[in-house]
Amino acid sequence: MEQQRIKSLIDLLQASDLSELTLSEAGCTLTLARQAGMPPVTPMAVASAPAPMAPVAPTEQPAAPAVSNRDIPSPLYGILHLTPAPGEAPFVTVGQRVEAGTVLCIVEAMKMFHQVQAPQAGVVEALLAEAGSEVDAGQPLVRIGG
């Protein structure tokens, strides 16, 4: 599925009151879902298997790791980048004051880069994952204090 097509689907979901959108096309399935307290929409899963023909009973999702309200979680599974490019300064450092919307890091998934932004102003207390490490959806990445 082309990146522009995915972007248009994200825009469509943002403009609607839907909480989740699933599309199967050419043997690929893409599910987009809103997450409470997170940027409006992020790709959640992409599978290459054809969609099932009959309805499937929902499966129970594993519990997300416990996070404090000061911990900023990863929006999805991917590789964590703490700098905009290799050899450049990090987005944020421990002790730095940030405003709401400040880019804290990037999670790369399937060659798409998803910015993780500060939901509120505060001071970066800790970076909770290492650059280049694989992170899970919901895993705490950065802790921001008052």
Determine the distance from the C-alpha atom of residue 129 to the mean position of all C-alpha atoms in its chain, rounded to a whole number. Answer: 15
Q: Are strands 112-117 and 103-109 parallel, antiparallel or unpaired?
A: antiparallel
Residue 66 has a pLDDT of: 46
Beta strands in 26-127 (DSSP E): 28-33, 42-47, 71-73, 78-81, 97-98, 103-109, 112-117, 122-127
Mind listing the pLDDT tens digit for each residue in 60-73?
Answer: 555 544 445 689 99
- Return d(Cα 15, Cα 103) in angstroms, integer: 24
Confidence of residue 21 (pLDDT cuts 50, 70, 90): confident
| Nearest partner of 41 among 19, 73, 69, 64, judged by Cα | 19
Bigger pLDDT: 130 vs 20: 130
- Return d(Cα 132, Cα 87) in angstroms, integer: 13
Residue 55 has a pLDDT of: 53
Mind listing the pLDDT tens digit for each residue in 35-63?
Answer: 654 444 445 444 444 445 555 555 555 55
Bigger pLDDT: 29 vs 44: 29
Q: Region 29-39: what's the mean pLDDT? A: 65
